[in-house]
């Protein structure tokens, strides 16, 4: 199995918690992305295909009363080979951008290095 690290950066617009209508909430957009990415492997792809998408990190915000303008997700994407993995890239990017849009945010996917699966 070919595994690859990835990061998703969500960009919004911060505002005070008392004026949420002035924000573009990166946490809400990140939540949409998380939920919708879970559909990719479980519902949108062949259940017999060797593939995995795991989100392992979520980071956002530093203040209790400020709606943050940035969220970062990280995880690993895997498929039987590099070609199948590259086919997943387009699906991931589509889900990420379309999930961020309803919250008025944008998001980018940054693919990292390939990683070895434990035991191989």
CATH number at residue 66: 3.30.70.360
Contacts of 109 (CB under 8 A, 6+ apart): 6, 7, 8, 89, 92, 93, 96
In a domain, 64, yes or no: yes
Residues of the chain with pLDDT under 50: none
- pTM summary value: 0.93
In the chain, the number of structural domains is 1
Model pLDDT for residues 88-112, shown as the tens digit of each residue: 999 999 999 999 999 999 999 999 9
pLDDT value, residue 45 = 87
In a domain, 120, yes or no: no
In a domain, 20, yes or no: no
pLDDT value, residue 115 = 85
Q: Position of tokens 């979520």?
A: 58
In a domain, 39, yes or no: yes
Structural domain span for residue 108: 2-13+25-115
In a domain, 107, yes or no: yes
């Amino acid at each position: 199995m070919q595994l690859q690290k990835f990061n998703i950066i969500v960009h919004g617009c911060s505002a005070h918690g008392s004026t949420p209508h002035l924000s573009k909430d990166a946490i809400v957009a990140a939540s949409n992305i998380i939920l919708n990415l879970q559909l990719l492997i479980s519902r949108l792809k062949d259940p017999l295909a060797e593939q995995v998408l795991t989100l392992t990190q979520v980071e956002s915000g530093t203040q209790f009363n400020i709606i943050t303008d940035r969220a970062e997700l990280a995880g690993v994407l895997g498929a039987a080979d590099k070609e199948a993995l590259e086919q997943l890239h387009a699906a991931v990017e589509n889900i990420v951008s379309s999930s961020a849009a309803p919250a008025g945010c944008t998001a980018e996917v940054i693919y990292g290095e390939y990683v070895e699966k434990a035991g191989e």
